[in-house]
Amino acid sequence: MAARPGFAGPNSNRSPFVRILLGDCASPRYLWHVTEQPRLAQQNAAVVLPEPFVKWFAEKGWSPRAHQIDLLAKAQDGQSVLLIAPTGAGKTLAGFLPSLTELAGRPRRRPGQAHRGIHTLYISPLKALAVDIERNLGKPVAEIGLPVTVETRTGDTPAHKRQRQKLAPPDILLTTPEQLALLIAAPDARRFFEDLRYVVLDELHSLVTSKRGHLLSLGLARLRSFVPALQTIGLSATVAEPDELRRWLVSQNPPGPMAELIVVTGGAKPDISILDSEERVPWAGHSARYATPEIYNEIKRHKTTLLFVNTRSQAELLFQELWRVNEDTLPIALHHGSLDVAQRRRVEKAMGENALRAIVATSTLDLGIDWGDVDLVVHVGAPKGASRLAQRIGRANHRMDEPSKAILIPANRFEVLECRAALDANYLGAQDTPPLVNGGLDVLAQHVLGCACGAPFHADALFEEVRTAAPYADLDRPTFDRVIDFVATGGYALKNYERYARIRLNKDGLWRVSNPRVAQQYRLNVGTIIEVPALNVRYVQPGSRGAASRGGRVLGKIEEAFLETLTHGDTFMFAGKVLRFEGIRENECFVSNAPGSDAKVPYYGGGKFPLSTYLAEQVRAMLDDPQRWKKLPEQVADWLRFQADKSVLPKRDDLLIETFPRGNRYYLVAYPFEGRLAHQTLGMLLTRRLDRAGAKPLGFVATDYALAIWSLADMGRMFRAKKPSLAALFDEDMLGDDLEAWLAGSWLLKRTFRNCALISGLIEKRHPGQEKSGRQVTVSTDLIYDVLRSHEPDHILLQATRADAATGLLDVSRLAEMLSRVQGRIMHKNLEQISPLAVPIMLEIGKMPVHGEADDTLLMDAATLVEEAMGTK
Amino acid sequence: MTVALAMAAPVAEVGSVDVAGERAVCDRRGVLYFPEFRLLAVSDLHLEKGSSLARRGTLVPPYDTGATLLRLQTVIADYQPSIVISLGDSFHDGGGAARMHASFRERLEGLMVGRDWFWVTGNHDPEAPADLPGETVRELAIGSLLFRHEPSAVRVEGEISGHLHPCARIVQQGRSVRRRCFAGDGGRMIMPAFGAYTGSLNLLDRAYAGLFRRETLMAYMLGTERIFAISHAMLRPG
């Protein structure tokens, strides 16, 4: 490979500066590909790079990269900057260059002189990333002889080190959003940050879309109020709307110019293909079991293969299947978020050492560190979003000019369409990262209490400060005042708790924490990450149910909700093994090795993404265009032709509804392609309406692509008689009263409320001296929800809950867009029998777990058993 | 399904149950009614639990007392009992009655008018509630029944108690349902907690060990429309 003139030294085709900076790993992740004009960069380099750096570069025979110099120049000009570069382009180094060069020019602290404050704050979503960077920054700092100290501060940092950091702060502090929240809630925060110059935000694209991002934006607003000249440097993967991030990085009150933008375009076009299987692609299901031998052959043909799946259960299943055919006993490992940390670290280490041939992984590997010499990415199941696919493929092979290689394995026929759409989208460089949403009021409540813990505040000033944060730029004053009221006394219309206020307004117009215990509790409960209640999974002797055999190995953690559905003796897959459920004792679930190798209960949740809007549109477009079917595998194209023959294929912007009888029931199948969450909500609302219309609906099932409802009455006939008409059935007004009525008692809303209650500080996650498991929270949030809803439905926390549900679990916003799009475009096909397109979703009926709504029906079933047995019925 | 064959049920009619020979109605709202005595029993109201938590910094909505009283009002209106027994832990703490908002106090006193009202003492409220009518007792015997807050360790036929906040969990088709319940074996009965913020403890927890005859133990789970009688054999821990 040829070295690029002016970019790299004679001895290397990669940037040695980066290699050194980031340690011994010589990781492909930090190689890059730059497209800016080299000459400009060199000229700039002379202007902005301080002498010791130039000298150091020269000694080594290296030269810096264009985007580094560009970023440095803009930063030295006083600008905040957003650097967008694909995974592995070495953005992190670029982010630190302004700090390192500035620190290099600072006079050394003389003995006896007061300690200087933090100069640069680096914030990453992952603790591990912070640790990684600390290790790798050390070397160049030493070699250039920079008077710079670099330290991490995470949840794992020991108390004495934190204490010392407060007294003698490092120049560069590497930390997480939660730790920042804690730092600004400390009484000495203003002094601690008074020398702050830069905040470097890594993996910004992944931070901003969550409540963690909201909390971080508020923390940043606070820092800005301490140090108005503060500059931010955002590092991000490619996103759909860079301007959103550019605004996010700077004050929005008043909105000034956005942060400067530097874009590094990607390297060689990735080589992506869809597995053209010899086998029959199944109609439905998610296992892709049919392709196992073909996947295994690919693993054999490559050095290291990274296999991505969408859920943990898929990961377990694929891992089992691969080992079933692993005749050569290749080292194939499993990696997902529920596994024991020690186990995960072992896999990561083995991978870094290139000791593995394949790793089956979920989204836990989406972000993060260096993964050895991966030369093939296999994506099993549909990618669900074009951006996600691009990120995952970016994991493979960062050598310059060599394309990443990836194979997509659709698990069923709809996924073939989706993979094809994603593939086309990736070549087009399409991006479908989710749009940013307004900041959560629960997060704001947490922040307000945090501010009070730090120092007394004036409501007017804090309001103006909060509005500098992009997610809260549109916040109105009455809402802000209600949040303060909530923090103080719960914000209830019934003013009962004045004497128990957590913060109080004093005569000087300042809000203060009413007693030190409030601050202590705040510190224990900071953050927005709510852990789903989970139990340790521990090995015991088969057949033993408890204490006697305690002490076996812990395999990882599984959600309590899944374990609750198991009976003694049930078998399930976890940690790459088939396990037998022996019982639950306190916080542990006991398991033994199952005698057979077939798990009875393979399902458990975690890591599900709905189909992105963008990809959904691409799939609809493909259905509508027979020309594009040529690119599809023959069996799938045949399937679509069959559908055109037996029923019809929907036009790009139409909604196809099929009705047909089957067995002694009638079915309605709709194909909105709007993702599982939106379909689930639609299913709930439609069944309510159909019930009122007398269709006697019995149930429904939702997938990413379609929705099926079954009933006792002939819905096809009802629609033709316009009793009701489909237009009326799908009218947008279903998002009004019906939604409200359904939501009121929905478990979905209760779960959302629980999160809001915990984040806002209404209920404590942790109390001094004790960790609470999900069930032991002071009062069940379900009970609080019921009481609050009936007594004060407009309470600020319920407002926050509804806002969350609309974008989260219910995806109401997406449903609303769809309903509005299909007005007047509903195509009804009344059929004698099931259509080819309907087969996949019909196969899902009975397979998918349905949650919560029909509790009483289950009780009825159980009680009926008793009645039948007793002959009383 | 073979599970069903192993079960025995002491009741002929769902919702109606015999305790030591006295007929009672298990109401799905969590109260027990004895028609013969026109007696309504309710347990573990835990009034003012909200303000009790608020005192310690957890500012949960202050509407639990109102919500609990409203539900109590409805069942009293339905049954029009001449005797009401509140089976202990009527207030979440000793100061609860004194803290109660004036409007709630009026509502509660309104319910008491024209009835014999007994406050059975509980571990949360060992003293008589401040400034409220009604008679405070440690336990109360009526017919073959004995009302007390905590179930006695020794079996007492006809004992009606509360304290443990029983709930039951079943699994059907891979889905789990957990509800408050009455627990009875024909001889004694433990009532579910009635208060709006009261949690619950699974009937299979060791706290219940030795209290019931396993073979006749039933959980009367509270449904949204009716009571569901579930045999002990079908219950799950957790």
Q: What is the ipTM of this complex?
A: 0.88
Interface contact A159, partner B, CB < 8 A: no
Distance CA A668, CA A702 (A): 12
**H or E, element range at B148:** strand B145-148
- The answer to whether residue A763 is domain-embedded is no
Write out residues 4-23 of B within 8 Å (CB-CB) of A: 4-5, 7-9, 12-14
Q: What is the DSSP string of B38-68?
A: TEEEE----BTHHHHHHHTT----TTHHHHH
A55, A185: one domain: yes
- The answer to whether residue A552 is domain-embedded is yes
Q: Which of A215, A243, A263 corresponds to the end of one domain?
A: A263
Indicate the SS3 state at residue A659: strand
A142, A179: one domain: yes
Q: Which residue does chain B place closest to A791, by CA atoms?
A: B63
Percent of chain A with pLDDT over 90: 37
pLDDT at A18 exceeding the cut of 70: no
Distance CA B214, CA A512 (A): 57
A359, A330: one domain: yes
Distance CA B4, CA A862 (A): 9
Distance CA A381, CA A703 (A): 14
Per-residue pLDDT band at A505 (split at 50, 70, 90): very high
Domains of chain B: 2-150+157-234 (3.60.21)
A104, A171: one domain: yes
Measured in angstroms, the CA of A868 and the nearest CA of chain B are apart by 8
Interface contact A273, partner B, CB < 8 A: no
Given this model, what pLDDT does residue A89 score?
62
Per-residue pLDDT band at A44 (split at 50, 70, 90): low
Tell me what the pLDDT averaged over chain A comes to. Answer: 81
- CA-CA-CA-CA torsion for A192, A196, A200, A205, nearest 10 degrees? 70
User: CA nearest B80: which of B44, B120, B107, B40?
Assistant: B40
- The answer to whether residue A603 is domain-embedded is no
Given this model, what pLDDT does residue A125 score?
83
A418, A284: one domain: yes
pLDDT at A14 exceeding the cut of 70: no
| Residues of chain A found within 8 Å of residue B101, distances taken between Cβ atoms | 494, 496
| Residues of chain A found within 8 Å of residue B55, distances taken between Cβ atoms | 500
Indicate the SS3 state at residue A280: coil
Helices (H), A326-400: 341-352, 386-393
A630, A724: one domain: yes
Question: Residue A584 burial by CB count (10 A; 0-12/13-18/19+): exposed, middle or buried?
Answer: buried
The angle at the Cα of A731, spanning A729 to A733, to the nearest 5 degrees, equals: 120
pLDDT at B171 exceeding the cut of 50: yes
- The answer to whether residue A407 is domain-embedded is yes
User: Is B4 in contact with A866 (Cβ distance < 8 A)?
Assistant: yes
pLDDT tens digits for range B8-41: 333 334 478 888 889 999 999 999 999 999 999 9
Higher pLDDT among residues A27 and A360, named by residue = A360
Distance CA A751, CA A559 (A): 14
**How confident is the model over A205-215, as a mean pLDDT?**
90
| Residues of chain B found within 8 Å of residue A783, distances taken between Cβ atoms | 196-199
Indicate the SS3 state at residue A414: helix
A224, A301: one domain: no
User: Which residues is B180 bridged to in the sheet?
Assistant: B167
Given this model, what pLDDT does residue A567 score?
75
Interface contact B182, partner A, CB < 8 A: no
Distance CA A206, CA A237 (A): 9
- The answer to whether residue A74 is domain-embedded is yes
Q: Which residue does chain A place closest to B99, by CA atoms?
A: A496
pLDDT tens digits for range B91-148: 999 999 999 999 999 999 999 999 999 999 999 999 999 889 999 999 999 999 999 9
User: Is B196 in contact with A783 (Cβ distance < 8 A)?
Assistant: yes
pLDDT at A842 exceeding the cut of 90: no
User: Is A489 in contact with B230 (Cβ distance < 8 A)?
Assistant: no
pLDDT tens digits for range A254-272: 999 999 999 987 666 778 8
- The answer to whether residue A394 is domain-embedded is yes
- The answer to whether residue A606 is domain-embedded is no
Helices (H), chain B: 49-55, 64-79, 96-99, 102-112
| Residues of chain A found within 8 Å of residue B225, distances taken between Cβ atoms | 856
| Residues of chain A found within 8 Å of residue B60, distances taken between Cβ atoms | 490, 762-763, 778-779, 784
Distance CA A64, CA A269 (A): 24
CB atoms within 10 A of CB A553: 12
Number of domains into which chain A is organized: 4
CB atoms within 10 A of CB A273: 11
pLDDT at A547 exceeding the cut of 90: no
pLDDT tens digits for range A455-502: 999 999 999 999 999 999 999 999 999 999 999 999 999 888 989 999
Higher pLDDT among residues A11 and A262, named by residue = A262
Q: What is the DSSP string of A105-150?
A: TSPPPPTTSPPP--SEEEE-S-HHHHHHHHHHHHHHHHHHT----E
- Mutate which of A848, A855, A864, A873 to disrupt the B interface (most B C-beta within 10 Å)? A855
The residue type of A17 is: F
User: Is B231 in contact with A866 (Cβ distance < 8 A)?
Assistant: yes
Given this model, what pLDDT does residue A373 score?
76
How do beta strands A260-263 and A332-335 pair? unpaired
Measured in angstroms, the CA of A318 and the nearest CA of chain B are apart by 23
User: Is A778 in contact with B229 (Cβ distance < 8 A)?
Assistant: no
Polymer length of chain A: 873
pLDDT tens digits for range A168-191: 999 999 999 999 999 999 999 999
Q: Which of A218, A245, A263 corresponds to the end of one domain?
A: A263
Indicate the SS3 state at residue A262: strand
pLDDT tens digits for range A809-836: 677 878 888 899 899 999 999 999 999 9
A554, A643: one domain: no
CB atoms within 10 A of CB A848: 13
- Mutate which of A770, A776, A850, A865 to disrupt the B interface (most B C-beta within 10 Å)? A865
Polymer length of chain B: 238
Q: What is the DSSP string of A632-648?
A: S-HHHHHHHHHHHHHS-
Spell A187-217 as b/e; 16+ CB within 10 A means b. eebbebbeebbbbbbbbbbbbbbbbbbbbbb
pLDDT tens digits for range A123-175: 988 776 777 788 778 777 888 888 899 999 988 888 899 999 998 999 999 99
Q: Which of A217, A238, A263 corresponds to the end of one domain?
A: A263
How do beta strands A534-539 and A588-593 pair? parallel
Distance CA A452, CA A153 (A): 23
A180, A229: one domain: yes
Indicate the SS3 state at residue A559: strand
Percent of chain A with pLDDT over 70: 82
Q: What is the DSSP string of A177-196?
A: HHHHHHHHTSTTHHHHTTT-
A643 near A650, Cβ under 8 Å?
A: no
The pTM (predicted TM-score) of the whole model is 0.83
**H or E, element range at A173:** strand A172-175
Handedness of CA A48, A51, A55, A56 (dihedral sign): negative
Per-residue pLDDT band at A35 (split at 50, 70, 90): very low
Which residue in B9, B172, B196 is closest to A866 by CB distance?
A: B9
How do beta strands B201-202 and B166-172 pair? parallel
A582, A623: one domain: no
Q: What is the CA radius of gyration of chain A?
A: 29
Question: What range defines the domain where residue A627 resides?
Answer: 614-732+807-847
CA-to-CA separations, A46 to A94, A299, A369, in angstroms, rounded: 16, 48, 32
User: Which residues is A332 bridged to in the sheet?
Assistant: A358
Per-residue pLDDT band at A16 (split at 50, 70, 90): very low
Interface contact A500, partner B, CB < 8 A: yes
Backbone angles phi, psi at A264, to 5 degrees: -105, 120
pLDDT at A686 exceeding the cut of 60: yes
pLDDT at B47 exceeding the cut of 70: yes
- The answer to whether residue A212 is domain-embedded is yes
Given this model, what pLDDT does residue A665 score?
87
Measured in angstroms, the CA of B51 and the nearest CA of chain A are apart by 7
Which residue in B3, B173, B221 is closest to A865 by CB distance?
A: B3
Per-residue pLDDT band at A854 (split at 50, 70, 90): very low
Q: What is the DSSP string of A565-618?
A: T--TT-EEEETTEEEEEEEEETTEEEEEE-SSS--S---------PPPHHHHHH
Interface contact B219, partner A, CB < 8 A: no
Given this model, what pLDDT does residue A15 score?
33
A222, A363: one domain: no
Given this model, what pLDDT does residue A2 score?
37
Write out residues 554-593 of A within 8 Å (CB-CB) of B: 560-561, 563-565, 567, 584
Interface contact B173, partner A, CB < 8 A: yes
User: Is A869 in contact with B5 (Cβ distance < 8 A)?
Assistant: yes
What CATH number did the domain enclosing A297 receive? 3.40.50.300
Which residue in A496, A500, A862 is closest to B170 by CB distance?
A: A862
A257, A288: one domain: no
CA-to-CA separations, A422 to A418, A610, A770, A813, in angstroms, rounded: 6, 14, 47, 23
